[in-house]
Amino acid sequence: MKKYSYLLALLLFVGLSSAYAQGGQGGRRQQMDPEKVAKQRADMWQEEFGLSDEQHEKVQAVLVKNIEETQEKMQSLRGSGDRAAMQKGMEEVRESLEKELKTIFTETQWTAYEKWKKENPPMQRRRGGGGQ
């Protein structure tokens, strides 16, 4: 379960990072709107896992909250340089997200979600391993 939470958070972080990297003017990058990111993810999951409209709304709200918490944690811990504290903070956010999603998804949807996480590893895990 801890491994899955870690993978989900990395996936979320990669999504936020890529959104952050694509934005900005004059060399300063802007963070993507949490509402927009959450809606895209909830839309994808609705199609992927067959979420009802009610579940979709709940998932979207949970994702907005999670993205905002993630951004706040990253900003507050980034300057400290304490990698262990950053990892612990992100793990707490991941666990919170997983706990809330599990209360929204049906058992079948949760199983499909966990399978999806295994089949879609975060991009960070794919980096740096090849070429030499």
Return the half-sphere exposure (C-beta side, CA atoms, 13 A cut-off) of residue 71. 18
Every domain of the chain and the residues it spans: 2-16+35-115
pLDDT exceeds cutoff 80 at 109: yes
More confident residue, 76 or 10: 76
- Residues 6 or more apart whose CB falls under 8 angstroms from that of 58 comprise 104
Mean pLDDT of 95-108: 94
pLDDT at 85: 80
Helices (H), the chain: 2-22, 34-49, 53-78, 83-104, 107-119, 123-126
- Residues 6 or more apart whose CB falls under 8 angstroms from that of 13 comprise 70, 90, 122, 124
- pLDDT tens, residue by residue, 53-62: 999 999 999 9
